[in-house]
Amino acid sequence: MSVSWINRADRLKALPTYVFARLDELKAGAREQGVDLIDLGMGNPDGAPPQPIIDAAIAALSKSGNHGYPPFEGTASFRKSITQWYQRCYGVDLNPDNEALPLLGSKEGLTHLALAYINPGDLILVPSPSYPPHFRGPLIAGGRIHPLILKAEQDWLIDLAAIPEAVATRAKILYFNYPSNPTTATAPPEFFQEIVSFARHYEIMLVHDLCYAELAFDGYQPTSLLEIAGAKEIGVEFHTLSKTYNMAGWRVGFVVGNADIIQGLRTLKTNLDYGIFTVVQQAAETALQLPDIYVKEVQDRYRLRRDFLIKGLAELGWNIPPSKATMYLWIPCPPQIGSTDFALEVLQKTGVVVTPGNAFGVGGEGYVRISLIADCDRLQEALVRFQKAGIRYV
Ligand SMILES: *Cc1c(COP(=O)(O)O)cnc(C)c1O
C-alpha cells in the first residue's frame, strides 16, 4: 500500500484491462496443482537461434571494445546489413543512414513511434483485432482509437471503403499488419496499393508491421509496404528478428521507411535509451546475412506443426484453412461461447493455454489464437486432451 496522494498518470488509466490477467491467475493456480500445462498462449518461439548467430555473439562478447554504450542510432554496419537484407528480399534501395533504425525489438519502436507522433485527442485508425502494441501505444500517447473491425467474410482485410469520410479526414495514423497476428490473414499486393492511395488521399501516416516477413509457407511471399510506389513518402515498416531467428529474448528489430518519420522516433529514443548492446547488433547482422537454408528450416518447422494441428482439429469438427504465414492458428470458438469463457474452459478441462481473441480487441471476439510453439508430440498431447474433455467445434 502506498499513500493516497501517489497516483498513477491518466495515460496508464486509459489502458483497457488486461485480458490475460485472469488467464495468468488460472495458469499459476494450475501449475501449483502440478498440472502439466501445454502453453500455446503467447507468440514466444520455442527454438534456439541458428548456431552461426550464437557463434557471432560469443565472438563479439569476447571483444573488449564491445561493452560500452553503443551508438544511439545503431552501428553503421548493422544499419547497412538491414538495408542490404531489405534490398535482397524486396529489391528496394534504402539509405542506411536515415531510412533504417535499429530498435530494442519492434514493440519498443511501435510504442515509441506513437509517443513521437500522437498528441492527446489525435484520431488513430487501428484494426480490431490487432497486436496489442498497435492500440496500446496510441492509448498511452493519449490518442483516440477508431477501431477498424475486421471480419472473416472479408478475409480479415481492412475495409477501407467502410471508413466514414469524416473519420478518414481527421485520422492521423493507420497501423496495420499483414501477415496478421492474430488472424493469420495475408493481404494481396493490390490491397497494399489501395491502402497507400487511401493514406495519401486522406493524408494519413502508414505504419506497417511486417514481423512475419519470413514466416510464410507454400511459396507465399509477403508484400512489404515499401515495395509500393509512393509508400516511402508517407510510411514506415517495422521488422523483428524475434520470430524468424528465434531471437525474441535478444530484443532486436528495426524500422525502415520515411527518413523524416524515422527521425522523429530517433529523436525521442535518444532521450530514452542507449541503443542495443553491440554484441546483439553484431549477432543480428550475422542473422540477416544467413543463407536461405536457415530461414527455410524455421518455415518448415512451423508449416509441419500447422498441418499437424489443422488435421487434428479437423477430427474435432474444426475446418481451418491453412494459413499462408505466421506462427498461429486462428480458430472460431464453438457457437454460444465467448472467447474468454472458451479459453478458460479449455485451460480448466485440458491444461492447454490458448489466447482469447478479444485480447486483441473486440473484433477478435468469438475466436481464440493458438501459437504453434510446441513440437508435434506436444500438439498431439493437446489434441488427445481436447478429445477426452469433449472440446470440439459443433
Ligand atoms: C511478435 C510480434 C512482434 C515482435 O515484437 P518484438 O518486440 O520485435 O519481439 C511485432 N509485431 C507483431 C504483430 C508480433 O506478433
Q: What is the pLDDT of residue 30?
A: 87
pLDDT tens-place string over residues 322-345: 999 999 999 999 999 999 999 999
Asked if residue 109 has its Cβ within 6 Å of ligand 1, the reply is no
Over the stretch 90-112, which tens digit does the pLDDT of each residue have? 999 999 999 999 999 999 999 99
Q: Are residues 138 and 40 in the same domain?
A: no
| 126 domain-assigned | yes
Residue 130 grid cell: 490487432
* Domain housing 198: 51-288
Ligand 1 neighbourhood includes 180 CB (under 6 angstroms): no
**Which of 103, 106, 254 has most ligand 1 atoms within 8 Å of its beta carbon, as the pocket-test mutant?**
106
Q: Are residues 207 and 273 in the same domain?
A: yes
pLDDT of residue 68: 95
pLDDT tens digits for range 175-228: 999 999 999 999 999 999 999 999 999 999 999 999 999 999 999 999 999 999
Does ligand 1 lie within 6 Å of residue 369's CB atom? no
Determine if ligand 1 sits within 6 Å of the CB of residue 102: no
84 occurs within a structural domain: yes
- pLDDT tens digits, 118-148: 999 999 999 999 999 999 999 999 999 999 9
Q: What count of other Cβ atoms lies within 10 Å of the Cβ of residue 220?
A: 11
Domain assignment present for 142: yes
Asked if 283 and 311 sit in the same domain, the reply is no
Cβ of 177 below 6 Å from ligand 1: yes
41 lines ligand 1 (CB under 6 A): no
Tell me, using a 6 A CB cutoff, whether residue 105 lines ligand 1: yes
Task: Determine, yes or no, domain membership for 171.
Answer: yes
> 3-state SS string over the chain?
CCCCCCCCCHHHHCCCCCCHHHHHHHHHHHHHCCCCCEECCCCCCCCCCCHHHHHHHHHHHCCHHHCCCCCCCCCHHHHHHHHHHHHHHHCCCCCCCCCEEEECCHHHHHHHHHHHHCCCCCEEEEEECCCCHHHHHHHHCCCEEEEEECCHHHCCCCCHHHCCHHHHHHCCEEEECCCCCCCCCCCCHHHHHHHHHHHHHHCCEEEEECCCCCCECCCCCCCCHHHCCCHHHCEEEEEECCCCCCCHHHCCEEEEECHHHHHHHHHHHHCCCCCCCHHHHHHHHHHHCCCHHHHHHHHHHHHHHHHHHHHHHHHCCCCCCCCCECCEEEEECCCCCCHHHHHHHHHHHHCEECEEHHHHCHHHCCEEEEECCCCHHHHHHHHHHHHHHCCCCC
> How many domains are contained in the chain?
2
| CB of residue 179 inside a 6 A radius of ligand 1 | no
Is there a domain that residue 4 lies in?
no
Per-residue pLDDT at 18 = 67
Question: Which letter, b or e, does each residue of 242-274 get, where b requires 16 or more Cβ atoms within 10 Å of its Cβ?
Answer: bbbbbbbebbbbbbbbbbebbebbbebbeeeee
* Residues 184, 280 share a domain: yes
Average pLDDT, the chain: 96
CB 43 less than 6 A from any atom of ligand 1: yes
pLDDT at 227: 97
| pLDDT score, position 13 | 84
CA–centroid distance, residue 138 to ligand 1 (Å): 16
Ligand 1 pocket member 305 (CB < 6 A) = no
Task: Mark whether 275 and 303 lie in a shared domain.
Answer: no
| CB 131 less than 6 A from any atom of ligand 1 | yes
Residue 144 lies in a domain: yes
From 110, 180, 210, 211, the mutation candidate for ligand 1 (largest count of ligand atoms within 8 A of CB) is: 211
Testing ligand 1's pocket by substitution, the residue of 237, 239, 240 carrying the most ligand atoms inside 8 A of its CB is 240
In this structure, are 206 and 327 located in the same domain? no
Taking the mean position of all CA atoms in its chain, how far away is CA 165? 29
Q: Any idea what the CATH number is for the domain that residue 24 is in?
A: 3.90.1150.10
Cell numbers at 233, concatenated? 513518402
Residues 115 and 248 in one domain: yes
pLDDT (tens digit per residue) in 44-69: 888 899 999 999 999 999 999 999 99
Q: Which of 235, 264, 288 is the last residue of a domain?
A: 288
Q: How far is the CA of 167 from the centre of ligand 1 (A)?
A: 28
Single out the residue in 252, 270, 288 at which a domain terminates: 288
Residue 374 in domain: yes
Nearest atom, ligand 1, residue 103 CA = 8
Per the CB < 8 A criterion, the answer to whether 296 and 184 are in contact is: no
Joined together, the cell numbers standing for residue 307 give: 498441418
Residue 394 in any domain: the answer is no
For residue range 8-26, list pLDDT tens digits in order: 898 888 887 766 777 788 8
Is there a single domain that holds both residue 298 and residue 245? Answer: no
Q: 202 and 109 share a domain?
A: yes
Q: Are residues 29 and 61 in the same domain?
A: no
Q: Are residues 24 and 139 in the same domain?
A: no
Of 288, 322, 357, the residue that ends a domain is 288
Q: What's the pLDDT at 356?
A: 96
Same domain, 263 and 310: no
Residue to substitute in 243, 256, 327, 373 for testing ligand 1 pocket (most ligand atoms within 8 angstroms of CB): 243
What is the CATH classification number for the domain harbouring 243? 3.40.640.10
130 CA: nearest ligand 1 atom: 13
Pocket test for ligand 1, best of 130, 131, 241 (most atoms within 8 A of CB): 131
